[in-house]
Every structure is written in C-alpha cells, then in structure tokens.
Chains A and B, each alone.
Chain A
C-alpha cells in the first residue's frame, strides 16, 4: 500500500518544482536553444539553396555562352558563304563585262574597218574614175593623131593599168 499512496507533501513540492523548472527552462533554456537551432537550420538551408541557385545560374550562363558561340560560328559561316558568293559574282560580272567590252571593241573595229574599206573603195572608185577619164582623154587625144598609135597607146595604157 505504501507504494501507491502518494504523499501530499511530495505532490505539493513536485507541482511547485516542476512548474518552476518548466518556466525557467522555457524562458532561459528552450527559447534560446530552439531559436538558435532554427536559425542554424535556416542558414544551412539558405546556403544550400543559394548554392543550388548558383549552380543553376552557372549552367544557364554556360548554355548561353554555348549558344552565343554557336551563333557566332553560324554567322561566320554565313559571312564566308556570302563573301564567296560575292566574289564569284564579281568575277563572273567582270568576265561578262570584259566579254561585252571586247565584243564591243571588236564590233567597233569591224565597223571602222568596214567604214574605212568603204572609204577606200570610194577613193579607189574615184581614182579609177579619174584614171578612166584621163585615159579616155589621152585616148581621145591619140585618136586625133594616129590611129595606130592611138591603138597601141591604149593598149600600153591598159597594160599600165593592169600593172597598177
């Protein structure tokens, strides 16, 4: 019976002491302990989060860099291709132009030649005409003197012409 008969005094002191311990510990022990535990946990969590974010940012930056590099390379390729095109174009254009010019020069030359030929032919005709007139004049004059002479002369003249 002794075991299960709680003494009034002990219950009284226990209640008092337990409450005192509870309030003192609550105010001066649990509050600062729990607060600093929480603070530490928060700071660790924040640090981890920040690290994760930094990692993500790094990855993003790297991806961006890669993209940039890729773009630059593409641009370079495009530029090169364009340059090549332009070069080809310039060359072909130049060639065409040269051809055209050459053709024009040839044409011009031909025209000039033609013109000169015509001029020469005209002159030749004129000369021939004047010679013919001269010959005719001389023939006519010879005819007036000696028929035989005239005839031989004409022949001689003709021979002369042929020589020309």
Chain B
C-alpha cells in the first residue's frame, strides 16, 4: 500500500532529478497520461520482472531480477533492467502491453504475432518473494523444532508458544477431525500448507519490500497448492472412494443407467474441488488487495481534480484502508484455514472406509 502511494505520487509531485534520459522520457510520458487506477492496481497485484520498491521524485528504486528463458532450443539469460521503461525490446523479447499475455515477456514470430517463449522460468517478483518466504518459514519452524528438542517435556516458550496453538489446532481440529485415525500421514502436508498460505497472506499485506508481493493472490501459486491436494487425494483414494464415484450408493438406478448422470457429476467433482480451492484463495486475497489499492487510488483521483479534494478524501481512504487491512489480517487466517480444512476433508473422503 505504501509502495502504491509512492508509486502513484510520481505524476503528482513534480521534480527534476531524473537520473537518466530514459527516466525523464518515461516520467514525461506518464505525466501526460491521466492517473489510471485500474492499471495501477493490476500492476500491483500481478507478477513482474522487476521489484519496484519506491519512487522518490523521478527516481525509481527497483530490484531488477534475472530473466531466464529457454526458447527455440537455447537458454537466454539477461537482466530485466534491459526491459525497463523506454526500451522496446531486448534480444527480441519485450513485455506485452495488452492481450492474454499482458505483462509477460513475449517475442514476435514470423507473422508478427506476440508469442510466449517456450519456457520462461525467470526469477520474477513473486518468485523472489517465494524464495524469501520459503527461507523464512523454514528458518522459523526449524528454530521452533529446535526449541522443542531443547526444552523436552517442558512448557512452550517464546515463538514456540505462539505457534504451538496453531500447530495443535491444525493437528487436532483440522487433521484429526476431518481425516480420522489415519491423520498422521497427512499432518505434515496440512501443516506446511496452512503455514505457507498463512505466512504468505501476511507477507502480502505488508506493503513494502520484502512483503507486498501478491503471492497467494496469484492463480499460479494457488493452483500449484490445489494440484498437490488433488494429487494426494487421488493417490490416497481407496476402493470405497472410487466406488462412490462410479456407482454412488443410495441413488436411484435411473440416475446411473442408461445415462450415467451421477458418475459424470461425481467425476466432475474430482476436478471442481481443487479448482474451487485454487479460485477461492486467489480471489479472496486479490480482492482484498484490490479494495485497499482502490481506496488509495481514490486519493489521487480526487487529487487530480483538486489538491484539497485529495487531502479530504485521504482521511476517509486511510480510515477505510486501515479497516480493510485489519479485515485482511482476518482473511489471511480464514483463507489459510479454509484451504487446509477442505484439503483435509478431501483426504478424509478419499480414505473413508465403508460403513
């Protein structure tokens, strides 16, 4: 959010300290444009090849991340600063401005159409955020595990006592309650899932580096986690689970023969469950960010009309922004919990015995 304020403030505040000609050109370019809230918001909640940290005057401070492509049989690696404002393309690649691939690196094929490189495994903003959060999560939990080893049989202390209720909550009220007596096999996955989502939701709320990446509001990230849940559910599925899909007991026969209506619905259900998991988390987190950014945008929209209006609206916007941020804290927990408990329920369904 703070980043947003600084970023969008560049057209409003005039300063003449641009470092290079590109910057000046870009600054003039956007100065001519009106403030577009939609574009700004989308830019903030989607992935990018650089990590824009702050803009002071006309100085953009960004981390330029490496672009790693494997295209047409060869590796292409370069710094994303070459794609920076004002340059059309580097090594034949540029960032698409519109269309399905908007914001992503593309090249022009023979027909002049924009196509994605074969494999684009660039370290983007979200990937870097992913690295940081992964390291942080591993560090936190290994240190907690060490304090468990050190303080054997004693009451928890410090970080350990802060995280223990959550660990117990996931183990007892999510895993044990939804899966049953075989819960121990799935507990590590569910714990990892919960804390991964929860911590990344929280990092997403923090508006400045190294937070601020909209990781759990990215459909790719939620999709991967949903896919893991799907894979584990499908692998764990026992005879009873598949029988329920192929031949649902307790359903009139004419729903199965001659038109296998129930099996089709059940078969679709296998895929809709993880799909819904993916969309729910992505939509909830993105929506929260969009609303907060929207409130911030209001300040600049009114500020463009008249500076006084901007100041006036800022009071209301900040108040609503704070409210939304607090709501986001709640959502961060709830969505992590919902993703985890639904995964646990699907595992429970997959290994449920006939009764």
Contacts and interface: CB of A to CB of B under 8 A. Distances in A.
Given A21-B134, A29-B145, A36 B219 contact: no
Given A18-B196, A22-B188, A8 B120 contact: yes
Given A13-B127, A18-B225, A21-B138, A26 B192 contact: yes
Interface string A48-62: 000000000000000
19 contacts: A3-B42, A5-B101, A6-B219, A7-B104, A7-B120, A8-B119, A11-B223, A14-B130, A14-B220, A17-B130, A17-B134, A21-B196, A24-B138, A24-B142, A26-B188, A29-B145, A32-B148, A34-B171, A36-B153
A33 interface: yes
Interface residues of B, number: 53
Given A3-B46, A5-B104, 10 more contacts: A9-B119, A9-B123, A9-B124, A11-B220, A13-B127, A17-B131, A18-B224, A24-B138, A33-B145, A39-B152
A26 B188 CA distance: 6
Interface string A73-86: 00000000000000
Contacts of B145: 28-30, 32-33
The 9 closest A-B pairs by CB, nearest first: A6-B220, A29-B141, A26-B188, A10-B220, A36-B148, A9-B121, A30-B188, A14-B224, A29-B145
Contacts of A18: 192, 196, 224-225, 228
Contact of A20 (B134, B149, B153, B286): B134
A2 B124 CA distance: 15
A2 B102 CA distance: 6
A11 to B, nearest CB: 5
**Interface on chain A toward B: helix, strand, loop, or mixed SS?**
helix
Contacts of A21: 134, 137-138, 192, 196
A9 B128 CA distance: 12
B331 to A, nearest CB: 18
A25 B142 CA distance: 7
B179 interface: no
A25 B138 contact: yes
A30 B148 contact: no
B144 A10 contact: no
Interface of A: 1-15, 17-18, 20-22, 24-26, 28-34, 36-37, 39-40, 43
A20 to B, nearest CB: 7
Interface string B140-164: 0110110011001100000000001
A80 B168 CA distance: 67
A8 B42 contact: no
A150 B183 CA distance: 158
Contacts, number: 130
B5 interface: no
A7 B47 contact: yes
B201 interface: no
B153 A9 contact: no
Contact of A37 (B47, B119, B167, B224): B167
Contacts of B233: none
A37 B167 CA distance: 10
Contacts of A43: 153
B96 to A, nearest CB: 9
B103 interface: yes
A31 B171 CA distance: 13
A35 B205 CA distance: 33
B340 interface: no
A2 B220 contact: no
A17 B192 CA distance: 12
B191 A14 contact: no
Given A29-B141, A33-B145, A9 B228 contact: no
